[in-house]
C-alpha cells in the first residue's frame, strides 16, 4: 500500500485567515513569484480592517526581498474598505523609482470603491492579469 506524503508548497504561498465570527466569504492571500522581479499577490474574499494588515505585510515582504514589480489581483475580492486602500497607498509610497505596481480588478462593486475615493486615477487598474503584467513589465504605458 502506497503511503501518501503531503508537502508544503514552496510557491505559491497562501495565507488564510479564519475569524471566530461567521463571514459570508473566506479570506485568502496567495503569492506567486513569476520571475526574479515579478510577484502576483491575489486576494480572495473581503479585504477590510481585520484582513488588510496581512496584505500589507505580504506586499512589504515581496518588495523588500523579491522584486520590484507587483501585481495585486483583486479578481476574487468581494469587498475592500478604506483600510485596504490605505495599505495600497502606503505600499505605493514605498516603491522605488524603477518599481511598478498594478491592480487587477473587474468587479464593479470593488471598482466603485476606487472611483468613490478618487484613487482610480492614482493606481494602474486593469481588468485582466495579462494587462496588469504587461504594465508592470513595461510593455504598456498605463491602464486602458
pLDDT at residue 66, rounded to an integer: 63
Inside any domain, residue 142: no
Q: Is residue 9 in a domain?
A: no
**74 in a structural domain:** yes
Q: What is the pLDDT of residue 138?
A: 84
Structural domain contains residue 31? yes
pLDDT in tens, 3-31: 343 333 334 444 444 444 544 568 999 99
CATH number at residue 100: 3.30.750.24
Q: Whole-prediction pTM value?
A: 0.79
Q: Is the pLDDT of residue 135 over 60?
A: yes
Mean per-residue pLDDT of the chain: 83
Q: How high is the pLDDT of residue 71?
A: 97
In a domain, 13, yes or no: no
Q: What would the pLDDT profile of 31-63 be if each residue is shown by its tens digit?
A: 999 988 899 999 999 999 999 999 999 999 988
The count of structural domains within the chain is 1
* Domain hosting residue 73, numbered range: 25-135
Q: Is residue 11 in some structural domain? A: no
Query: What is the SS3 string spanning the chain?
Result: CCCCCCCCCCCCEEEEECCCCCCCCCEEEEEEECCCCEEEEEEEEEECCCCHHHHHHHHHHHHHHCCCEEEEEEEEEEEECHHHHHHHHHHHHHCCCCCEEEEECCCHHHHHHHHHHCHHHCCCEECCHHHHHHHHCCCCCCCC
Q: Is 75 inside any structural domain?
A: yes
Give domain status of residue 76, yes or no: yes
pLDDT of residue 22: 45
The predicted pLDDT at position 109 comes to 96
The per-residue pLDDT for range 63-118, each reduced to its tens digit, is 887 678 999 999 999 999 999 999 999 999 988 888 899 999 999 999 999 999 99
Amino acid at each position: 500500500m502506497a503511503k501518501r506524503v503531503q508537502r508544503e508548497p514552496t510557491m505559491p504561498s497562501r495565507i488564510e485567515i479564519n475569524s471566530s465570527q461567521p463571514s459570508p466569504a473566506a479570506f485568502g492571500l496567495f503569492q506567486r513569484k513569476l520571475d526574479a522581479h515579478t510577484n502576483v499577490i491575489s486576494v480572495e474574499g473581503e479585504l477590510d480592517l481585520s484582513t488588510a494588515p496581512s496584505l500589507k505585510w505580504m506586499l512589504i515582504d515581496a518588495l523588500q526581498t523579491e522584486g520590484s514589480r507587483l501585481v495585486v489581483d483583486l479578481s476574487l475580492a468581494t469587498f475592500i474598505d478604506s483600510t485596504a486602500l490605505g495599505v495600497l497607498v502606503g505600499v505605493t509610497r514605498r516603491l522605488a523609482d524603477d518599481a511598478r505596481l498594478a491592480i487587477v480588478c473587474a468587479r464593479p462593486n470593488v471598482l466603485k470603491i476606487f472611483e468613490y475615493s478618487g484613487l482610480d486615477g492614482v493606481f494602474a487598474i486593469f481588468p485582466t492579469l495579462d494587462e496588469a503584467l504587461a504594465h508592470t513589465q513595461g510593455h504598456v504605458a498605463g491602464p486602458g
